């Protein structure tokens, strides 16, 4: 490691902060373009879906455990359970299923 670790950390922090900050600091006026608004409406659903699947199958090291957590959390969110309950019960189910 011939470079300075702290300089690395500060550089990555600056880049990451700018990426997050610029739109929030600059965008003020509502955008009325129908297609752009529709685009933004779909962004959270697409990005969170892409991040969740298939990662949930890999993260436990066992696709079966991941599939159990996936099916269970979908069922619970349709019933209308809260975020903490859905997450907690999924963890518990994986813990128990892992013991079996």
Partner 1 sequence: MKECSRISFLKGLKDAVPIMLGYFAVSFTLGINAAQNGLTWYQAGLMSFLNHTSAGQAAAIRMIASGDSYLSLALSQLVINLRYMLMSTALALKLRPDTSMGERLGMSYIISDEIFGISIMQKAPISAWYSIGAMTAASPGWVLGTILGAVMGNVLPASITTALSVALYAMFIAVIFPPVKQDPILAAVIAASMASSWLFDVLPPFRQLSFGFKVIILTIALSALFAFIRPLPEDTEATDAA
Among 76, 70, 74, CA closest to 55: 70
Q: In this structure, what DSSP letter does residue 31 have? A: P
Distance in Å, CB of 32 to partner 1, minimum = 10
Per CB under 8 A, 2 contacts partner 1: yes
Distance CA 21, CA 45 (A): 22
Cβ–Cβ under 8 Å, residues 65 and 73: no
Distance in Å, CB of 79 to partner 1, minimum = 10
Per CB under 8 A, 12 contacts partner 1: yes
Site map 24..63 versus partner 1, x via CB under 8 A: xxxxx-xx--xxxxxxxxxxxxxxxxxxxxxxx--xxx--
Distance CA 50, CA 77 (A): 18
Per CB under 8 A, 100 contacts partner 1: no
Q: Which of residues 78-97 bind partner 1 (CB under 8 A)?
A: 78, 80-84, 86-88, 90-92, 94-95
């Amino acid at each position: 490691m011939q470079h300075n670790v702290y300089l690395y950390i500060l550089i990555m922090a600056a880049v990451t902060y700018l990426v997050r900050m610029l739109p929030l600091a600059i965008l003020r006026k509502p955008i009325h373009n129908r297609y752009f608004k529709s685009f933004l409406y779909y962004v959270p659903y697409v990005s969170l879906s892409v991040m969740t699947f298939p990662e949930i199958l890999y993260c436990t090291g066992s696709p079966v455990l991941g599939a159990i957590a996936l099916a269970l959390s979908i069922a619970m969110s349709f019933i209308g359970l809260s975020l903490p309950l859905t997450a907690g019960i999924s963890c518990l189910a994986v813990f128990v299923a892992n013991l079996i």
